[in-house]
A and B are shown apart, each in its own frame.
Chain A
Amino acid sequence: MARIELRGLSKRFGEVEVLRDLSLEVGDGEIAALLGPSGCGKSTTLFILAGLYQPSAGQVLFDGADMVGVHPRGRNVGLVFQSYALYPHLTVRENIGFPLKLQGVARAEIARRVGEAAALAGLEELLDRKPSQLSGGQQQRVASARAIVKRPTLLLMDEPLSNLDQELRARMRREIRRVQRETGITTIIVTHDQEEAMSLADRIYVMQDGRIQQGGGHRELYERPANRFVAGFIGVPSMNFLDQLAVVGAGEDAWLESRGRRVMRVSSGDGLAGLGGLASAAIGIRPEHVAVTPAGQGAVAARVVDLVPEGREVVVGLELEGGVELRSIVPSTLELALGQTVGAAIDERFVHLFDGQTGAALHHGGHGR
């Protein structure tokens, strides 16, 4: 069990800079997730934590002790690979017991602890099978059991559920949480799936281009995204962005324009109209804050161009005059047809504002205000 900290980490592979000045912290017994699109450097970060890669610069601190240059053997880190990397020539029992055997643990003790780990992972019946005789979910459990059997100070999981089907994924998520709670091992999970990150982790670090874009709890990331990337990455369906903004008119008849077309009504005073630098900024608005109204009711006119039913709700693609597109999410009970003309009303209170150049958040609407 340990408190993990990365400080100013960077990593180059030849000319390619994979990680740039990356810092993060994971508290003792916490689960953290590194979340980002593929190629963002999250697996590289994981392998540096494991000791399989050496960083080009920076520190890797386990409870304050720098681990850079320490062989994986000296770190006591468990790693669950995306491909599970089970040893095909060994049985499940031998796979799980392998780390202990290497540590020179006595045979009886190995048997006891393998039994323990197998019970925790629900593998008691499968101990004498070979990995090729197991299903994907079972292989995942063996990999997890092998990673925790040595009682690691840190458990790393690289896309642990990406090879499993939907239903199994939900179950394995609950199991990973349960096992982590029971063992209290500090855990870092790498994933590209925000749902997985949200459901597993206490703290999520969103990564892009080798940098941490933002770290925080899931509400913080959703309601106060630090920049345009995080705002667009977190949330399904993703946030709408509108740029080339200008406020026209005044008083009761003030409007926000994007690319020279009206997109929403704004109130003067403390609203958007009061913010400077609009011309070079972009606004972001979550689909749930774009209301679909009957045509001509105090909102801009829009045409329904796409309908994606998602059970309870339906994601609506709207095209405003002049080609601006917005996505909205509305209850399925609202009956809409493709091509229908409706009104689109952006709720001014929930608008986020981002710098047009850097993408940094300038203003958060709604709960974040």
Chain B
Amino acid sequence: MSGAALRNRALLIAALVLLALPIAAAYLWLVLASFGRGHELTWGIFPTSYTTDNWRFLWDASAAGRDVPSVWLATRNSVVLAVSIMVLDVSLATNAGYVFSRWTFRGRGPLLAFVMVLHAFPSVTLLVSLFIVLLHMGLLDSLWGIVLVKVALQLPFGIFVMKGFFDSVPWESEMSALMDGCTRLGAYRRVILPQVMPGIASIAIFSFLEGWKEFLFVYAFTFDKSSWTLSLYLQSILSRTGGAQYGLLAAVAVFYMLPVVFFFLFAQKQLSRVQLGGVKG
């Protein structure tokens, strides 16, 4: 590498570090705060003394207060919600994306356009009508109703992304699989799907996060605390009358964040591994 290239690289890294620093600092503060004692931690970055008291909510349900359900119940609900949305969204978007990419049928263009229009509505505007729909379907006060709503709202985006990925897989790949002895379905499963793994991975991450962070619909469509997810759990601690316990709040926030970090790290690796393959024509 020449001197100029080296200097450019150094500048780039410096710029990236500068950009990342505030975010990293905020997370560092959050983690430190979760181990801080009492109210001291509200000032400055480093707490004056450390304790694990804030984390007691993990094993002692009463530590977080009587107005919230067990954190493990909320976690279970969050996992059920996020994973269900992810599984449904990925499988529907993948199959629909394939059909939109490969098959020509009457009304394909308009349908594709309509699907995109669907995506343009902010979900808040649909809140009341969705409430009524769920009420009549008997899916109110249930996570499954929210799963269906979330999947329906995200599906257009997923279909669009997957269609793009399928478009980039050449027809020859599929024909070649048929020549080698695959059925049409076999070609899809053994040859086409592995080539769109980066797309599947990105939709999986995206839809999992959508479910994990969902607050509005859970808040609006469930009434019983047994249906609470971590986002409602966190909100309830934050909005307590008489002031929030910031140590507890920070600990719950870190707890809420951890699975996402792990999930992202895993999916990221998956993403880059698959992309090494690359189609060369």
Chain A residues near B (Cβ < 8 Å): 47, 50-52, 71-73, 77-79, 81-89, 98-99, 102-103, 130-132, 139, 146-147, 150
Contacts and interface: CB of A to CB of B under 8 A. Distances in A.
B172 A85 contact: yes
Contacts of B186: 102
Nearest to A156: B179
Given A130-B276, A139-B280, A50 B180 contact: no
Contacts of A150: 180-181
B277 A102 contact: no
Interface string B138-176: 000000000000000000000000000000001011011
Contacts, number: 73
Contacts of A77: 179
Given A83-B170, A83-B281, A146-B180, A88 B195 contact: yes
A99 B194 CA distance: 17
B170 to A, nearest CB: 6
B280 A132 contact: yes
A102 B179 contact: no
Contact of B173 (A52, A87, A103): A87
A99 B190 CA distance: 12
Given A83-B170, A88-B195, A89-B195, A132 B276 contact: yes
Nearest to A132: B278
B277 A89 contact: yes
Contacts of B178: 51-52, 71-73
B196 to A, nearest CB: 10
Contacts of B19: none
B182 to A, nearest CB: 6
A132 B281 CA distance: 9
B183 interface: yes
B180 A81 contact: no
Interface string B197-215: 1000000000000000000
Interface centre among B176, B181, B182, B274 (most CB of A within 10 A): B176
Nearest to A79: B179
A162 to B, nearest CB: 12
A47 B171 CA distance: 13
A229 B276 CA distance: 47
Contacts of A51: 178
Given A86-B280, A132-B278, 15 more contacts: A47-B175, A50-B179, A52-B178, A73-B181, A73-B182, A84-B281, A85-B170, A85-B172, A85-B176, A89-B194, A89-B277, A99-B179, A102-B181, A102-B186, A150-B180
Nearest to B180: A99
B195 A52 contact: no
B29 to A, nearest CB: 43
Contact of B279 (A73, A88, A102): A88
B280 A88 contact: yes
A98 to B, nearest CB: 5
Given A87-B191, A88-B195, A89-B195, A79 B176 contact: yes
Interface centre among B179, B182, B197, B274 (most CB of A within 10 A): B179
14 contacts: A52-B175, A52-B178, A77-B179, A83-B170, A85-B173, A87-B194, A88-B278, A99-B181, A102-B186, A131-B280, A132-B278, A132-B280, A139-B280, A146-B180
A89 B274 contact: yes
Given A81-B172, A87-B191, A88-B195, A98 B280 contact: no
B179 A130 contact: no
Nearest 8 pairs of A and B residues by beta carbon: A85-B172, A102-B181, A85-B176, A88-B277, A99-B180, A89-B194, A132-B278, A81-B172
Contacts of A87: 173, 176-177, 191, 194-195
A72 B183 CA distance: 9
Contacts of B197: 89
Interface centre among A50, A87, A132 (most CB of B within 10 A): A87
Contacts of B194: 87, 89
A81 B180 CA distance: 12
A73 B186 CA distance: 12
Contact of A83 (B172, B180, B278): B172
A357 to B, nearest CB: 40
A103 B181 contact: yes
B180 A98 contact: yes
A88 B193 CA distance: 12
